[in-house]
């Protein structure tokens, strides 16, 4: 995967040149592809994921994409739900997440293939959105827990998958049951790497697991944490 950057006016786009360039190496991506309104007008929205960002599932022709606008939560959302302070292009949350996702993807870790991200600058602030390839047939671990269809084998696989990421050094700051996906073959995937980073070993691994266990409790599945930790070990 080769990442490249292009600019159209006040919009900066970081994209996978291997999949988004034609034979003449011209990027086949425009700012409108990051607009939910554009896809709705085309009638190519095929679904929507839960969450404050309202991620859309898109029919992109040869594949399905996930478009996720960046949205704030908590107290900061009262000031602005979608604008962030500009401190440089490479420091934007969108560029950092796409670079990290591409690195983990290159290491053959189970993350969605990154497509592109767009950052639109408004003076001291910016807005952003991210596009990744949709994982076919994937559903969240939260859904499986709610349906009581998460087997012991699956939960142990969740633990092993988290351990793979931790051994690589990934600190997932929002590890929860919605950010773990399970595909039709029961393979476990990790999504939403916003604000995540690669680190040396430390207390963050335990913090990740404890955050996940709090999430499991919200879905009435506290006991699942024991099985996940067994797989992790």
pLDDT digits (tens, 9 = 90+) for 124-164: 999 999 999 999 999 999 999 999 999 999 999 999 999 99
Is 15 in the same domain as 120?
yes
Computed over every residue of the chain, the mean pLDDT equals 92
Question: E strands of the chain, at which residues?
Answer: 3-8, 11-16, 45-48, 56-59, 64-69, 84-85, 114-122, 125-133, 139-140, 170-171, 180-182, 188-190, 197-198
Q: What per-residue confidence (pLDDT) applies to 79? A: 63
pLDDT class of 52 with cuts at 50, 70, 90: low
What mean pLDDT is predicted for residues 1-9? 92
Query: CA 77, 65, 190, 168 torsion: positive or negative?
Result: negative
Of 157, 146, 20, 132, the residue nearest 65 (C-alpha) = 132
Distances (CA, A) of 191 to 29, 32, 163: 23, 24, 15
**What are the beta bridge partners of residue 32?**
none
Is 228 in the same domain as 160?
yes
- Enter the pTM of the model: 0.92
pLDDT, one tens digit per residue, over 174-221 is 999 999 999 999 999 999 999 999 999 999 999 999 999 999 999 999
On whether the CB atoms of residues 182 and 144 are closer than 8 A, the answer is: yes
Is 117 in the same domain as 143?
no
Domain count along the chain: 2
Is 145 in the same domain as 129?
no
Is 127 in the same domain as 30?
yes
Is 69 in the same domain as 109?
yes
Is 31 in the same domain as 122?
yes
Q: Which residues are the active-site residues?
A: 174
pLDDT class of 72 with cuts at 50, 70, 90: confident
* CATH code: domain of residue 207: 1.10.510.10
Q: What per-residue confidence (pLDDT) applies to 209? A: 98
Give the residue numbers spanning the domain of 85.
3-133
Is 17 in the same domain as 118?
yes
CB atoms within 10 A of CB 160: 15
Select from 78, 103, 133 the last residue of a domain: 133
**Under 8 Å CB-to-CB from 3, ≥6 apart: which residues?**
14, 15, 16, 17, 98, 99, 102
Is 95 in the same domain as 53?
yes
Q: What per-residue confidence (pLDDT) applies to 74? A: 56
CA–centroid distance for 124 within its chain: 25
């Amino acid at each position: 995967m080769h990442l490249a950057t292009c600019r159209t006016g006040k919009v900066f786009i970081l994209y996978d040149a291997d999949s988004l360039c034609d034979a003449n190496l011209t990027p086949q991506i425009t700012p409108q592809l990051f607009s939910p309104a554009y896809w709705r007008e085309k009638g190519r929205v095929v679904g929507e994921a839960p969450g404050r960002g309202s991620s859309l599932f898109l029919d992109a022709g040869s594949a399905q994409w996930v478009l996720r606008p960046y949205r704030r939560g908590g107290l900061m959302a009262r000031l602005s739900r979608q604008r962030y302070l500009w401190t440089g292009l490479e420091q934007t949350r969108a560029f950092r997440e796409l670079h990290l996702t591409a690195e983990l993807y290159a290491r053959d870790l189970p993350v969605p293939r990154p497509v592109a991200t767009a950052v639109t600058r408004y003076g001291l602030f910016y807005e952003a959105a991210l596009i990744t390839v949709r994982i076919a047939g994937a559903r969240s671990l939260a859904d499986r827990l709610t349906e009581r269809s998460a087997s012991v084998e699956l939960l142990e696989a969740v633990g092993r998958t988290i351990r793979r990421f931790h051994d690589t050094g990934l600190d997932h700051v929002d590890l929860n049951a919605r950010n773990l996906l399970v595909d039709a073959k029961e393979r476990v995937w990790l999504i939403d790497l916003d604000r995540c980073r690669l680190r040396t070993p430390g207390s963050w691994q335990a913090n990740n697991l404890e955050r996940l266990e709090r999430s499991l409790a919200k879905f009435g599945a506290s006991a699942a944490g024991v099985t996940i930790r067994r797989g992790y070990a």
